[in-house]
Structure 1
Amino acid sequence: MKYLIAGLGNIGPEYKNTRHNIGFQILDALAEASNISFSDKRYGFVAELKFKARTFILLKPTTYMNLSGRAVHYWMNKEKIDIKNLLVLVDDLALSFGTLRVRAKGGAGGHNGLENINQVLGRNDYARLRFGIGDDFHKGYQVDYVLGEWNKEEQKELPFKIDDCIDIIKSFGTIGVERTMNVYNKR
């Protein structure tokens, strides 16, 4: 069984530790914990993880956030991965910091990366893991907040939340999205 785990973010050092790049941060932590590394491939940095007789293709798109659909579509086709085996990792302003929500499908919720994936795939019935980044910004400063770095309090909690995300990714591949939702969305 093959799975595509797409962590959304933006390439470049200026985005490295920003809230919008949580998808990249989660996949970097998973790769480091699994002793694997990413290679620069077409439309993204890609790594392959074997876990419990499953293959996880980890994708960090290099198309920038707003064109993530191009990379996701390409790697789904290249690796012949069914949409039910796609999990997209994104930041979410509507959830308080560190709140994790797994969904089997849904709208973009104002997230440009998800919007582009929905548009390119022509559907929205794929799983996503939403990582709450909160909405602690003044009106008109959303972009600055999303592209801002984690504050000190968030930085302390981040490794624990990222570990939970790694558990969710493995759960998604082993017990499926519905059971993963039942286990992790109740926390």
Structure 2
Amino acid sequence: MKYLIVGLGNIGTEYENTRHNIGFDVVDVFVKKHGGTFKSERLADVAECKWKGRVFVVIKPTTYMNLSGKAVKYWMDKEKIPLENIFVILDDLALPLEKVRIRPGGSDAGHNGLTSIQELLGTNQYPRLRFGVGNNFPKGKQVEFVLGKWSGEEWPIVLEKMNKSVEIIESFGTIGIERTMNKYN
């Protein structure tokens, strides 16, 4: 069984440890836990991890968020991974910081990374993990908020949720999206 695990984010040091890059951060923790290393390849930084008889091809698109679909489509086709074995990890303003939400598909909810993936795959029916980043920002300051760094009081919650997200990825690969949703949502 082969899976494509996609962490959404933006490349460049100015985006490191920002709310919008939580997808990159989660897959970094996953790959480190499973002894993999990322290499720069076509359209993404890529790592391959094996765990419990499964192969996880993990990507961090280097296309910037708004063109994430190009990397997802390329690696899905290259590795011959079916749509139901793709798992996208992203930030979500609509969820409080304490929450994660697993879904088998659905709307892009205005998230440019999901919009790009949906356009290139021709469907919105692919599994995803939405990592709540909260919405504690003044009106008109959404961009500054999502591209902002985590605060000191947020960081312990973020670390705990990143570890839980790694468990969710493992669960997705072993028991599937429906049972993972029942266990973690």
Query: Partner of 1:163 in structure 2?
Result: 163
In the TM superposition, structure 1's runs of 4+ consecutive aligned residues that sit over 4 Å from their partners are none
Quote the Cα distance in structure 1 between the aligned partners of 2:93 and 2:157: 17
Q: 1:36 deviation in Å?
A: 1.4
Equivalent residues in 2 for 1:40-55 (5 A)? Answer: 40-55=40-55
Identity of aligned residues (%): 56
Provide the C-alpha distance between the structure 2 equivalents of 1:36 and 1:125, rounded to a whole number of angstroms: 28
Aligned 8 A contact 2:6 2:88 in 1:
yes
Stretch of structure 1 that moved more, 59-68 or 33-42: 33-42
| Aligned-partner Cα distance in 1 for 2:154–2:129 | 18
Within a 5 Å distance, the mapping from 1:25-36 to structure 2 comes to: 25-36=25-36
Per-residue displacement from partner, 1:14-69 (whole Å, max 9, x unpaired)? 00110000000001111122221100000000000101110000000000000000
Is 1:119 equivalent to 2:115 in the alignment? no
Equivalence for 2:2? 2
2:97, 2:157 within 8 Å by CA — same for their partners in 1? no
The correspondence of residues 77-116 of structure 1 with structure 2, limited to 5 A, is 77-116=77-116
Quote the Cα distance in structure 1 between the aligned partners of 2:36 and 2:154: 26
Which consecutive residues of structure 1, in runs of 5 or more, have no partner in the other structure? none
Of 29-38 and 130-139, the range deviating more from structure 2:
29-38
> Does structure 1 retain, via aligned residues, the 8 Å contact 2:35–2:49?
no
Find the aligned partners of 2:171 and 2:2 in 1 and give their Cα distance: 14
Q: Measure the CA separation in 2 of the matches of 1:124 and 1:173.
A: 20
TM-score (norm 1): 0.98
Aligned-partner residue type, residue 117 of structure 1? I
1:45 partner SS: strand
For residue 116 of structure 2, give the secondary structure of its aligned residue in structure 1. helix
Aligned-residue Cα RMSD (Å) equals 0.6
Q: Within 2, Cα distance between the matches of 1:114 and 1:130?
A: 11
Amino acid at match of 1:41: E
User: Could you tell me how far apart the structure 2 residues matched to 1:151 and 1:93 are?
Assistant: 16
SS at 2:138 equivalent: coil
Structure 2 unaligned spans of 5+: none
Q: Distance in 2 between matches of 1:92 and 1:98?
A: 11
Give distance in 1, aligned partners of 2:103 and 2:158: 21
Q: Aligned to 1:68, what secondary structure does the other structure show?
A: helix
Determine the C-alpha separation between the residues in 1 that align with 2:103 and 2:184: 11
Q: 1: CA distance between counterparts of 2:173 and 2:71?
A: 20
Q: What is the letter of the counterpart of residue 45 of structure 2?
A: F
For 1:159 and 1:32, the matched residues in 2 are separated by: 14
CA offset digits 1:74-97 (Å, max 9, x no partner): 000000000000000000000000
